[in-house]
Amino acid sequence: MTIAVIMPSYNGAAYLGAQLDSIRHQTRPPSQVLIRDDGSGDATNLMLNRWAKDWSAIRVVEDEHSHLGVTASIQQLLKVTADQTDVPLIALADQDDVWLPEKLEWAEAWHREVGDDQPALYCAGANLAGQNMEPLGRAPVWRKPMGLRNALVENMALGCTTVINRKALDLLVGEWPKSVIAHDWWAYLVIAAHGGLMHYDERPVLNYRQHGRNAIGYLPSVAGRWRRRLGRLFGGSMPPLFAQARGLLSQYGDAMSPEARAVVDEFLGLSDGWQRLRALIQPVGERQRLLDNIALRLLIAGGSIK
């Protein structure tokens, strides 16, 4: 199988070398590494050009756009990858992590096992690391299965661990609604809504660097995670779950199965007026943790989720 890695970069010169080195030395190396820089002001482009001369797998993607942000940059890379006909597996990467050696090998093994007849998504666990790669423990380990009811309210698919197949790529290419919360969440939601195959591997596959310039990151401490929960509960800072679900129906509703559409319609039925109060007594989604499910019900009933 050909594996293409896609990675957006932005002011990542301090971290890129370690990440590219970890990708190059996979037990199952990729055939291509497509990198799109988003208008860096540091030495990122110089470093990328040096790496591209030294490693023929690297292709620096150039276009007319400047600073798009991580989600739109991923979109551009997906489009470029889709134009190639011989790429059955696509691995998403962040510029500042360090992959463990077996990351791509494990993902490819699962994809070979399930075949390529349906859209498929593999994701996995991660080790948390500080700015200098000092260990900070594990990212949350998910115990409940992946599925549409979970994808509507929570993202299990950490993007930098995710590997999708060609059919999943074909679903994701094109314009995305403005309501997309994050590229990895959107990929999970779209594939789940189309009845795709999904697998969360509990094994950590990378060291996930946490630092002040992360676009998205985990909070390693229990206290930090609880501050975030309480801030969302009382500060109205929840992601727009209903808006993202409406975007899903607008983009893909006609292609979804009646069963999947019914699940999304049921969820959206809780978004209007007094109907929100039904969230206190009926299922609204399937988050991983009991307290997060309780918080979700309260947030919907209180009108904090748009």
pLDDT at 293: 79
pLDDT at 128: 97
Domain of 244 in residue numbering reads as: 222-301
Per-residue pLDDT of the chain (306 residues; tens, 9 = 90+): 899 999 999 999 999 999 999 999 999 999 999 999 999 999 999 999 999 999 999 999 998 877 899 999 999 999 999 998 788 999 999 999 999 999 999 999 999 999 999 999 999 999 999 999 999 999 999 999 999 999 999 999 999 999 999 999 999 998 999 999 999 999 999 999 999 999 999 999 999 999 766 544 555 555 555 555 555 555 555 689 999 999 999 999 999 999 999 999 999 998 887 788 877 877 778 888 888 878 888 888 878 787
Instruction: Examine the domain organization and report whether 49 and 188 are in the same domain.
Output: yes
Domain of residue 163, CATH code: 3.90.550.10
146 neighbors 118 (Cβ within 8 angstroms): no
Instruction: Examine the domain organization and report whether 11 and 133 are in the same domain.
Output: yes
Instruction: Examine the domain organization and report whether 169 and 129 are in the same domain.
Output: yes
As a whole number of angstroms, the distance between CA 181 and CA 70 comes to 11
pLDDT at 211: 79
Is 250 among the domain residues?
Answer: yes
Is 215 among the domain residues?
Answer: no
Instruction: Examine the domain organization and report whether 181 and 292 are in the same domain.
Output: no
As a whole number of angstroms, the distance between CA 104 and CA 115 comes to 16
Is 214 among the domain residues?
Answer: no
Q: What is the largest CA-CA distance in the chain?
A: 62
In tens, the pLDDT along 5-17 reads 999 999 999 999 9
- Look at residues 149, 177, 209 and tell me which one is the last residue of a structural domain: 209
- Look at residues 209, 234, 268 and tell me which one is the last residue of a structural domain: 209
**Distances in whole angstroms, Cα of residue 46 to Cα of each of 11, 41, 50, 275:** 11, 11, 6, 55
Instruction: Examine the domain organization and report whether 31 and 128 are in the same domain.
Output: yes
Instruction: Examine the domain organization and report whether 103 and 241 are in the same domain.
Output: no
Is 169 among the domain residues?
Answer: yes
Instruction: Examine the domain organization and report whether 231 and 201 are in the same domain.
Output: no
| Residue the block writes with tokens 């190059």 | 24
| Residue the block writes with tokens 């463990």 | 100
Amino acid at 298: L
**Percent above pLDDT 90 for the chain:** 75
**Percent above pLDDT 70 for the chain:** 91
Is 268 among the domain residues?
Answer: yes
pLDDT at 50: 98
pLDDT at 273: 78
Is 147 among the domain residues?
Answer: yes
Instruction: Examine the domain organization and report whether 274 and 166 are in the same domain.
Output: no
pLDDT at 62: 92
Our count of domains for the chain comes to: 2
- Look at residues 209, 236, 262 and tell me which one is the last residue of a structural domain: 209
Instruction: Examine the domain organization and report whether 181 and 64 are in the same domain.
Output: yes
Alpha-carbon radius of gyration of the chain:
19
Is 217 among the domain residues?
Answer: no
Instruction: Examine the domain organization and report whether 258 and 191 are in the same domain.
Output: no
Instruction: Examine the domain organization and report whether 121 and 255 are in the same domain.
Output: no
Is 172 among the domain residues?
Answer: yes
Instruction: Examine the domain organization and report whether 178 and 276 are in the same domain.
Output: no
